[in-house]
């Protein structure tokens, strides 16, 4: 065993990278659920984002355009969910699952000609002097821009939900859609916007995997991150900063356990392998002892005639 | 829930697609653990399936279901295939072993072929390739080329097939470079590109400049390419899109001849239970082209080693070898028997860490 081989600076830096896809997908889903909609199609929207971001950045040579395309791709797929649940009033659970299945299959089709292609690199932000500060520099100031965008999104969602009128209306729709409707708010319209925001975020998260974390395209490459994001939103009690905490915990322990294994620490590997799930759940469950509960209208179908 | 619906959809689709087919065709089913586009393990099995289709043309019909989780769900997929009239079913992952045996009991007239397992029955054959022969060649190149003397190894699950590979690579790396050290990380997945890439990155951060993988996707190759100055080897498939660097060579699984032969046997009615374990010699294991990143003399030695393994003049596990705990395993000149290899659950002397049990 040689713990000295683990470089804590690199460890923290790579845990932030490992957490970002989860963070992006989860914050999008948080907004969707706050509006009272349960979209289980996160995994499908992520993988569509992963391939559309990958394809566009390879074709144009610009990772930025790729990420924009990923957000649009995820949002377009979420429109299918809108059509099913908000227009046709279909069951949200079934529609979400269908969205995931469709996304996985459709992305495999789209990605046929992109297997083994190397995407253009986004590069890291390098601020003179600041990025060179020992320890703090590599941890905080030497990342790709999307990682900072993820953190900024958390802050923005938190501020909007808490302090703005838009946030208040969104929460009202999620808590009691009949009352919101009676007050004259366009419940369906607001939910559609929330769902598309969620789709765009999930798309970004997927593209982060295919363009930065791995970087390549492989079928099914999101490998369940969307499902973890869904669980994370619940365990984080629908609170943005807890989503950040949960994502960093999960990403962090995932990377840490690999590091411990490589350094030969004498903890049975099975425990290390399951530790990200257990520790994340434990911490968030303890935190949610304050009885914050789900949006009251979560998963319920709204029709103006009710 | 997700897998359930996935499988339901898949099996319904299978049923629809195959219901109307005439009975005189031989129908062959394939169960895959990953997507056919993984660029590795499943990709090669699917190439074998396509070769069967091409070889037999109209006389054979093939069906496949991809990304089938190892466990009870696999049983349902196999059962559905058998109900849909498959004559022969290839189940292509170690974790399908018990499900295959269970389903085979229910369908005595259907032939089953399970890859990399060891349980047979009247209608169940097993087949595998001696990947460890390829690992020996990899170990040789890795030992010669590492500058940090640290080789990272991404394991999937601690099963004999993977442990054999680690031992074989280590023995041959150590032989040419006594200072070499292996760092082993278990990913506990066959296919999860993000996790595989993370594992590769961690190993590189801890000083490895050679990455060997026993997982199915090309993600570790991408991570090594990103890091620069790290070499890798294609696993199961050539992964030639990452040549000449980081991928300097590869182990390629060539299932096509075996699949064609077995389908022929079913069509002729001559199929019988077999336990096939072929290596470089019969061509089931191929060594992908060694790229120019490898010095010419190392390449020559590697090819010589490959030739010796192929013609049987050298066995990858030749004594004197000791087990990790220091006890004797093989005496000088003695070679390992297939029984020990098939159930290998120990590291050889010099490897650090414990095998998860």
Average pLDDT of B103-118? 94
Global ipTM: 0.79
> Which stretches within B85-188 are classed as H helix?
97-106, 131-145, 160-176
Is domain A3-114+141-290 in CATH 1.10.3470, yes or no?
yes
- pLDDT tier, B8 (very low <50, low <70, confident <90, very high otherwise): low
- What is the band of A9 on the pLDDT scale with cuts at 50, 70, 90? confident
In this prediction, residue B237 carries a pLDDT of 87
Tell me the mean pLDDT in the region A41-52: 95
More confident residue, A4 or B208: B208
Q: Give the chain A residue whose CA is nearest to the CA of B193.
A: A221
**Mean pLDDT confidence for B236-263:** 90
Domain boundary pick from B77, B109, B129: B129
B152 CB within 8 Å of a chain A CB? yes
Nearest-angstrom CA–CA distance, B242 and B222: 8
Q: Indicate the residue of B5, B197, B221 with minimum beta-carbon distance to A97.
A: B5
Residue B181 has pLDDT above 70, yes or no: yes
CB contact under 8 A, B194 and A222: yes
Q: What is the pLDDT of residue B154?
A: 95
Give CA–CA dist B36/B66, Å, rounded. 7
The answer to whether residues B121 and B136 belong to one domain is no
Q: Which residues pair with A112 in a beta bridge?
A: none
Same domain, B203 and B107: no
Instruction: Give the other-Cβ count within 10 Å of B1's Cβ.
Output: 9
Domain that holds residue B18: 2-129
Closest A-chain CA to B154: A262
**Model confidence over A255-294: pLDDT tens digits?**
888 888 888 777 777 788 788 888 888 887 887 777 677 8
Per the model's pLDDT, the better-predicted residue between A264 and B139 turns out to be: B139
State mean pLDDT over B12-32: 66
| pLDDT average, residue stretch B193-210 | 91
Both tokens of residue A91?
A: 């069951």
Question: Is position B272 within any domain?
Answer: no
| Least CB–CB distance from B198: residue in A5, A218, A254 | A254
The confidence band for A1, taking pLDDT boundaries of 50, 70 and 90, is very low
In a domain, B196, yes or no: yes
Domains in chain B: how many in total? 2
Q: What is the rounded average pLDDT of the residues B190-198? A: 89
Q: What is the arithmetic mean of pLDDT over B272-300?
A: 92
B135 and B125 both lie in a single domain: no
Whether residue B148 sits in one domain with residue B36? no
Give per-residue pLDDT as tens, A18-34.
899 999 999 999 999 99
How many angstroms separate the CA atoms of B242 and B290, rounded? 12
Helix axes A225-235, A269-287, angle to 10 degrees: 40
Q: Across the A/B interface, how many CB contacts are shorter than 8 Å?
A: 123
Is pLDDT of B119 > 70? yes
pLDDT score of B227: 86
Per the domain annotation, does B274 fall within a domain? no
pLDDT over threshold 90, residue B11: no
Considering only CB atoms, B356 lies closest to which of A255, A262, A270, namely A270
- Distance from the Cα of B332 to chain A's closest Cα (Å) equals 31
Q: In which element (H, E) is residue A208 found?
A: helix A187-208
pLDDT confidence tier of residue B1, bands split at 50, 70 and 90: very low
- Between CA B336 and CA B191 the distance in angstroms is 31
Helix (H) or strand (E) holding B124: strand B124-129
Q: What is the pLDDT of residues A92-148, one digit of tens each?
A: 999 999 999 999 999 989 988 887 788 888 777 666 777 777 777 777 777 888 899
pLDDT digits (tens, 9 = 90+) for B86-102: 999 999 999 999 999 99
Confidence of residue B24 (pLDDT cuts 50, 70, 90): confident
Torsion of CA B311, B314, B315, B321, to 10 degrees: 180
Interface of B with A in 178-237 (CB under 8 A): 183-186, 188-189, 191-195, 197-199, 201-203, 205-207, 217-219, 221-223, 225-226
Work out the minimum CA distance from A236 to partner chain B, whole angstroms.
22
pLDDT at residue A219, rounded to an integer: 85
Say if residues A222 and A209 touch (Cβ distance below 8 Å): yes
CA–CA dist B128, A207 (Å, integer): 37
State the pLDDT confidence band at A3, using cuts at 50, 70 and 90: low
pLDDT at A47: 95
Q: Which residues in chain A are contacts of B221 at CB distance < 8 A?
A: 216
Cβ pair B149, B132 in contact under 8 A: no
Q: What is the distance between the alpha carbons of residues B197 and B186, in angstroms, rounded to a whole number? A: 13
The backbone torsions φ and ψ at residue B165, rounded to the nearest 5 degrees and listed phi first, read: -65, -45
CA distance A177 to chain B (A): 28
Question: Is residue B180 assigned to a domain?
Answer: yes
Domain spans of chain A? 3-114+141-290
B143 and B215, same structural domain? yes
Looking at the DSSP bridge assignments, the partners of residue B155 are B186
Give pLDDT, residue B99.
Answer: 95
Please tell me whether residues B99 and B193 are part of one structural domain. Answer: no
Instruction: Let me know whether B227 and B185 are in one domain.
Output: yes
Q: Which residues, other chains included, contact B55 with Cβ-Cβ below 8 Å and sequence gap of 6+? A: B260
Q: How far apart are CA B110 and CA B62, in angstroms?
A: 14
Q: Which of A157, A188, A196, A247 is nearest to A75 (CA)?
A: A196
Which residues make beta-bridge pairs with B232?
B211, B247
The pLDDT score that the predictor gives to residue B32 is: 95
- The mean of the pLDDT values for chain B is 89
The per-residue pLDDT for B18 is: 46
The pLDDT confidence band at residue B7, using thresholds 50, 70 and 90, is low
Partners of B158 on chain A (C-beta within 8 Å) are: 269
Where does a domain end: B95, B129, B163? Answer: B129
Confidence label for B10 from pLDDT (cuts 50, 70 and 90): low
Residues B244 and B141 grouped into a single domain: yes
For residue A38, which of A97, A80, A87, A88 has the smallest C-alpha distance?
A: A97
A53-106 tens-digit pLDDT: 999 999 999 999 999 999 999 999 999 999 999 999 999 999 999 999 999 999
DSSP 3-state of B330: strand
Does a cis peptide bond (omega within 30 degrees of 0) precede residue B244?
A: yes
3-class SS of residue A5: helix
Whether A108 and B199 lie within 8 Å, measured CB to CB: no
Residue owning tokens 């007050």 = A183
Confidence (pLDDT) at B21: 43
What CATH number is associated with residue B145? Answer: 3.40.50.2300
> Do B168 and B238 reside in the same domain of the chain?
yes
B223 lies in the same domain as B104: no
Confidence label for B3 from pLDDT (cuts 50, 70 and 90): low
Q: Are residues B184 and B114 in the same domain?
A: no
pLDDT tens per residue across span A167-213: 999 999 999 999 999 999 999 999 999 999 999 999 999 999 999 88
pLDDT of residue B31: 96
Q: Which residues pair with B126 in a beta bridge?
A: B114, B275
CB contact (8 A) between residue B205 and residue A216 = no
Interface test with B, best of A24, A118, A261, A277 (most B CBs within 10 A): A261
Q: How confident is the model at residue B354 (pLDDT cuts 50, 70, 90)?
A: confident
43-62 in chain B: CB under 8 A from chain A = none
Interchain contact, B5 vs A101, CB within 8 Å? yes
User: Does any CB of chain A come closer than 8 Å to the CB of residue B3?
Assistant: no
Categorize the per-residue pLDDT at B118 as very low, low, confident or very high, splitting at 50, 70 and 90.
confident
Among the candidates B109, B129, B149, a domain finishes at: B129
Q: Do residue B219 and residue A221 have CB atoms under 8 angstroms apart?
A: yes
Nearest to B198 among A97, A258, A270 (CB): A258
Determine the pLDDT at residue B20: 43
Q: Closest partner residue to B206 among A6, A214, A269, by Cβ?
A: A6
Tokens 């997982």, residue located: B215
Question: Does residue B22 surpass a pLDDT of 90?
Answer: no
State whether A112 and B34 contact (CB < 8 Å): no
Instruction: Pick the most confident of A116-120, A277-281, B225-229, B286-290.
Output: B286-290
Q: Is the pLDDT of residue B19 over 60?
A: no
Q: Do B219 and A218 touch (CB under 8 A)?
A: yes
Q: Give burial (CB, 10 Å; 0-12/13-18/19+) of A240.
A: buried
Task: Indicate whether B320 and B207 sit together in one domain.
Answer: yes
Q: A100 to chain B: nearest residue by CA? A: B2
Contact B226 A14 (CB under 8 A): no
Residue B16 covered by a domain:
yes
């Amino acid at each position: 065993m040689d713990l000295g081989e683990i470089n804590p600076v690199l460890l923290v830096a790579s845990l932030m990278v490992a957490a970002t896809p989860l963070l992006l997908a989860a914050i999008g889903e948080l907004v969707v659920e706050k509006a009272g909609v349960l979209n289980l199609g996160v995994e499908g929207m992520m993988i569509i984002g992963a391939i559309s971001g990958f394809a566009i950045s390879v074709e144009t040579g610009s990772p930025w355009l790729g990420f924009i395309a990923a957000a649009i791709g995820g949002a377009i797929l979420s429109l299918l969910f809108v059509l099913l649940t908000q227009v046709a009033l279909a069951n949200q659970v079934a529609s979400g699952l269908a969205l995931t299945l469709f996304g996985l299959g459709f992305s495999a089709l789209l990605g046929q000609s992109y297997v083994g292609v190397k995407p253009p690199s986004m590069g890291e932000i390098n601020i003179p002097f600041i990025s060179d500060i020992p320890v703090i520099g590599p941890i905080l100031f030497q990342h790709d821009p999307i990682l900072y965008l993820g953190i900024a999104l958390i802050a923005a969602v938190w501020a909007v939900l808490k302090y703005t009128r838009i946030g208040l209306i969104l929460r009202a729709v999620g808590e009691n859609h009949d009352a919101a409707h009676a007050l004259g708010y366009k419940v369906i319209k607001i939910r559609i916007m929330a769902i598309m925001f969620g789709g765009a975020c999930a798309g970004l998260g997927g593209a982060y995997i295919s363009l930065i974390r791995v970087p390549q395209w492989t079928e099914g490459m999101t490998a369940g991150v969307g499902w973890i994001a869904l669980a994370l939103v619940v365990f984080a009690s629908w609170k943005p900063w807890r989503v950040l905490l949960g994502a960093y915990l999960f990403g962090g322990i995932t990377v840490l356990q690999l590091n411990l294994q490589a350094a030969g620490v004498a903890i049975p590997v099975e425990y290390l392998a399951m530790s990200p799930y257990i520790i994340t759940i434990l911490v968030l469950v303890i935190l949610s002892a304050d009885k914050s509960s789900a949006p009251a209208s979560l998963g319920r179908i709204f029709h103006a005639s009710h | 829930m997700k897998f359930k619906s996935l499988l339901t959809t898949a099996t319904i689709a299978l049923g629809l697609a195959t219901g109307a087919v005439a009975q005189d065709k031989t129908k062959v089913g394939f169960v895959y653990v990953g997507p056919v586009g993984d660029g590795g393990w499943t990709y090669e099995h699917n190439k074998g399936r396509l070769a069967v289709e091409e070889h037999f043309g109209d006389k054979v019909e093939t069906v496949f279901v991809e990304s089938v989780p190892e466990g009870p769900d696999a049983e349902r997929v196999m059962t559905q295939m058998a109900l849909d009239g498959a004559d022969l079913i290839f189940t292509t992952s170690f974790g399908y072993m018990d499900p295959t045996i269970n389903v085979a009991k229910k369908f005595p007239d259907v032939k089953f072929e399970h890859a990399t397992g060891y349980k047979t029955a009247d209608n169940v054959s097993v087949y595998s390739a001696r990947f460890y022969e390829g690992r020996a060649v990899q170990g040789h190149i890795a030992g010669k080329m590492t500058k940090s003397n640290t080789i990272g190894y991404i394991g999937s699950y601690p099963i004999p097939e993977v442990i054999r590979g680690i031992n074989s690579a280590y023995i041959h790396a150590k032989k040419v470079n006594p200072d070499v050290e292996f760092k082993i990380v278990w990913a506990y997945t066959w296919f999860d590109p993000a996790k595989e890439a993370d594992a590769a990155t961690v190993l590189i951060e801890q000083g490895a400049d050679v990455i060997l993988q026993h997982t199915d996707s090309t993600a570790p190759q991408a991570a090594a390419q990103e890091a620069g100055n790290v070499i890798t080897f294609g696993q199961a498939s050539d992964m030639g899109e990452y040549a000449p660097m980081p991928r300097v060579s590869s182990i390629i699984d060539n299932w096509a001849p075996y699949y064609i032969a077995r389908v022929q046997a079913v069509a002729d009615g001559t199929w019988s239970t077999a336990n096939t374990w072929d290596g470089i010699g019969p061509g089931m294991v191929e060594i992908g082209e060694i790229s120019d990143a490898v010095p010419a003399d190392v390449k020559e030695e590697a090819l010589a080693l490959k030739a010796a393994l192929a013609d049987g003049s050298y066995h990858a596990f030749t004594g004197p070898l000791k087990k990790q705990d220091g006890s004797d395993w093989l005496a000088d000149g003695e070679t390992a028997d297939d029984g020990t290899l098939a159930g290998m659950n120990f590291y050889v002397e010099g490897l650090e860490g414990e095998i998860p049990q």
